[in-house]
Amino acid sequence: MSADPTLRREIPDATVARLPEYLRTLTMLAEAGVASVSSEELAASVGVRSAQLRKDLSHLGSYGVRGVGYEVETLALEITRALGLTQDWPVAIVGMGNLGHALASYSGFVTKGFHIVALFDDDPALIGEQVGDVTIRPSWDIEGCARELGIAIGVIATPAPAAQTVCDALVKSGVHAILNFAPSVLTVPAGVEVRRVDLSTELQILAFHAQRRVGLPSPAVVQR
Question: Is 97 one of the annotated binding-site residues?
Answer: yes
Which 8-state DSSP code applies to residue 138? E
Question: Is 144 one of the annotated binding-site residues?
Answer: no
For residues 30-89, which are near a second copy according to CB under 8 A? 47, 82-85, 87, 89
What does the CA dihedral 132, 134, 138, 144 come to, rounded to 10 degrees? -160
Q: Which is nearer to a second copy, 35 or 203 (CB)?
A: 203
How distant, in Å, are the alpha carbons of 36, 56, 115, 151 from that of 137? 47, 41, 17, 14
1 near a second copy, rule: CB under 8 A: no
Question: Is 7 one of the annotated binding-site residues?
Answer: no
Question: Is 98 one of the annotated binding-site residues?
Answer: yes
Question: Is 95 one of the annotated binding-site residues?
Answer: yes
Q: Which is nearer to a second copy, 64 or 154 (CB)?
A: 154
Binding mask 94-133 for a second copy (x = CB under 8 A): ---xxx-xxx-xxxxx-xxxx-------------------
Shortest Å, Cβ 35 to a second copy = 21
Helix/strand/coil (H, E, C) string of 61-125? CCCCECCCEEEHHHHHHHHHHHHCCCCCEEEEEECCCHHHHHHHCCHHHHCCCEEEEEEEECCCC
Shortest Å, Cβ 145 to a second copy = 18
Residue 167: name the closest of 137, 194, 199, 198 by CA.
Answer: 194
Shortest Å, Cβ 110 to a second copy = 9
Question: Is 180 one of the annotated binding-site residues?
Answer: no
Query: CA-to-CA distance for 112 and 157, rounded, in angstroms?
Result: 21
210 near a second copy, rule: CB under 8 A: yes
Binding mask 168-187 for a second copy (x = CB under 8 A): --------xxxx---x---x
